[in-house]
Amino acid sequence: MDHLTCQSCGLPFTNEISGTNRDESENEDYCVHCFEHGEFVDQSLTLHGLEVKLVEMAEMHNEITREEAVIVIRELPYLKRWHMNIM
Ligand SMILES: [Zn+2]
């Protein structure tokens, strides 16, 4: 099974939860939580909003550890979705 990194939220994902293109084929750049049917699920999401969300995931829901959140947040500006915005 391939382990991919979502180019929007920065979290690892597998083909089972990969995003979908408009033609319902798999999109291996994004996870299904970020990208579905050829569009971003939350189009108004900003880089800052995402940072807040990741910290919340670590602190309130324990879905990821604080250390993981810090690493992911550091990598966010280099991901495809956000790379374009800062250029
Ligand atoms: Zn994602």
Domain of 7 in residue numbering reads as 3-86
- pLDDT tens over the chain, length 87 residues: 678 999 999 999 999 999 999 999 999 999 999 999 999 999 999 999 999 999 999 999 888 999 999 999 999 999 999 986 554
Token duo for residue 58 = 């670590």
Cβ burial 9-46 (10 Å sphere, 16+ → b, else e):
bbbebeeeebbbbeeeeebebbbbebbbeeeeeeeebe
Q: Rounded to the nearest whole angstrom, what is the distance from the C-alpha of residue 6 to the centroid of ligand 1?
A: 5
Task: Single out the residue of 11, 20, 7, 21 nearest to residue 83, CA to CA.
Answer: 7
pTM of the predicted model as reported, rounded to 2 decimal places: 0.87
Q: Rounded to the nearest whole angstrom, what is the distance from the C-alpha of residue 29 to the centroid of ligand 1?
A: 9
Place of tokens 């699920």: 41
Domain count, the chain: 1
